[in-house]
A and B are shown apart, each in its own frame.
Chain A
Amino acid sequence: ETGVTQTPRHLVMGMTNKKSLKCEQHLGHNAMYWYKQSAKKPLELMFVYNFKEQTENNSVPSRFSPECPNSSHLFLHLHTLQPEDSALYLCASSRGQNYGYTFGSGTRLTVV
């Protein structure tokens, strides 16, 4: 049982849809992250939140919009996505610098 829970596990959406991915961590960590993993590519960092403040946006297109209402919850709002956005979206949390991450199980997103 992971301490980081992501929902939904799978999502199929059309290019005109709006959907949200949810992440919740029960570990008391201060930092939360969104990563994208496409086939045959390394994990790509998207956003970093520390103490619910966004500290990094890795040049992510505006069709991806993160929200962090508190240190335990992280959302990724999606709208007008493209087929190339289809990937595994992973949420992670950590105690902060110099610590490893705990990942959620990910949301496998397919844009049609």
Chain B
Amino acid sequence: RKEVEQDPGPFNVPEGATVAFNCTYSNSASQSFFWYRQDCRKEPKLLMSVYSSGNEDGRFTAQLNRASQYISLLIRDSKLSDSATYLCVVNMASNTGKLIFGQGTTLQVKP
């Protein structure tokens, strides 16, 4: 089983749509969770951390389900500029701060 698993997509949605991405992780001792965004041929950039109680940042909502080892990202009112690859990232519970990245889910928002 992969340490961090995501559906690669692509997800093709119209502007204004709501879209959700899911991610599962294998290590139940994982402590920190993040969503990163990566544009084509650019470096990944931190989108948001994921907290146990769930958290929201504008149009973006992240959820964590520790029992099912599952993370989600919800994007409301999609914009053209949201088109990118979204990486699910998990801290592997070591003291090195090592992060493991999922393969990424590609989102294409169409006019």
* A104 on interface, CB distance cutoff 8 Å: yes
Please, how many angstroms separate the alpha-carbon atoms of A41 and B104 in the complex? 9
Interface residues of A in 74-112 (CB under 8 A from B): 90, 94, 96-106, 108
A11 CB–B CB distance under 8 Å: no
Set of chain A residues within 8 Å of B104, measured between Cβ atoms: 42
B29 to chain A, nearest CB (A): 13
Q: In whole Å, how far is A13's beta carbon from the nearest beta carbon of chain B?
A: 20
The reply to whether the CB of A25 lies closer than 8 angstroms to some CB of chain B is: no
Smallest CB separation, B41 vs chain A (Å):
8
Q: Is the CB of A55 within 8 A of B96?
A: yes
- Is B101 touching A31 in the complex (CB atoms < 8 A)? no
B43 contacts A by Cβ under 8 Å: yes
Query: How many of chain A's residues have a CB under 8 angstroms from any CB in B?
Result: 26
Residue contact B97 to A98, C-beta cutoff 8 Å: yes
Q: Is B72 an interface residue (CB 8 A)?
A: no
| Chain A CB within 8 A of B12 CB | no
Is B97 a contact partner of A48 (Cβ separation < 8 A)? yes
Interface Cβ pair total, 8 Å cutoff: 64
Q: Does A43 lie within 8 Å of B101, measured CB to CB?
A: yes
Contact of B43 with A50 in the complex, beta carbons under 8 Å: no
Is B100 an interface residue, CB under 8 A from the partner?
yes
In the complex with contacts A42-B102, A42-B103, A97-B44 CB distance below 8 A: no
Within A11-70, the residues touching B (CB, 8 Å) are: 31, 33, 35, 41-43, 45, 48, 50, 55-56
For B32, list chain A residues within 8 Å (CB): 97-100
Given A48-B97, A99-B32, 6 new contacts (CB under 8 A): A2-B43, A41-B103, A45-B100, A97-B97, A100-B99, A106-B43
Q: How far is A97 from B30 in the complex, measured between Cα atoms in Å?
A: 11
Q: Which residue of A lies closest to B95 (CB)?
A: A97
Q: Which of A42, A56, A97, A108 contacts B101 (CB 8 A)?
A: A42
